[in-house]
């Protein structure tokens, strides 16, 4: 069971906006940085968003991140077929020692 909670799957149609949620606690999302990753089958994850809402250089502005309290969200607008992938949230967790924690991943299907 993952420390951060994401929906296992989501779907959308081309052009639609989808939002993937990530729920945590005060020891991770509540007071630390949140990253979002995109992973295609057979490849390494790629960082999309860091520090909750900062887009990595080169990432289209269709991708945006936000954080509120102990939850974070990744929004993808103008959905494209090439966005079909697995998405993971990650956050630094302070307890009991330092560690990174991940969500279980969300498989996004573009219908």
Partner 1 sequence: EVQMEDSGGGLVQPGGSLRLSCVVSGYTFSIYEMNWVRQAPGKGLEWVSYISSSGETIYYADSVKGRFTISRDNAENSLFLQLNSLRAEDTAVYYCVGSGYEPMKYWGQGSQVTVSS
Q: Can you give the binding site for partner 1, defined by CB under 8 A?
A: 2, 33, 35, 37, 44-47, 50-51, 54, 56, 88, 90, 92, 97-105
Cβ closest to partner 1, residue 12 vs residue 104? 104
* Angle at alpha carbon of residue 86, lines to 96 and 25, rounded to 5°: 25
Cβ 13 to partner 1 shortest distance, Å: 26
Nearer to partner 1, 50 or 62 (CB): 50
3-state secondary structure of 74: strand
Indicate the residue among 46 and 62 with the shorter CB distance to partner 1. 46
Query: Cα 49 to chain center, whole Å?
Result: 8
Residue 2 or 70: the one with the smaller Cβ distance to partner 1 is: 2
**Strands, E assignment, the chain:** 9-12, 18-23, 34-39, 46-50, 54-55, 63-68, 71-76, 85-93, 99-102, 106-110
Question: Considering the complex, what minimum distance in angstroms separates the CB of residue 7 from partner 1?
Answer: 13
How near is the Cβ of 2 to partner 1 at its closest, in Å? 6
């Amino acid at each position: 069971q993952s420390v951060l909670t994401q929906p296992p799957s989501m779907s959308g149609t081309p052009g639609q906006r989808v939002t993937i949620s990530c729920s945590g606690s005060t020891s991770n999302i509540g007071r630390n940085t949140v990253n979002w990753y995109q992973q295609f089958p057979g490849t390494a994850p790629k960082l999309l968003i860091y520090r909750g809402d900062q887009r990595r250089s080169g990432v289209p502005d269709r991708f945006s991140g936000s954080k509120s309290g102990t939850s974070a969200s990744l929004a993808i607008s103008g959905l494209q077929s090439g966005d079909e992938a697995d998405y993971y949230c990650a956050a630094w967790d302070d307890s009991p020692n330092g560690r990174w924690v991940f969500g279980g991943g969300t498989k996004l299907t573009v219908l």
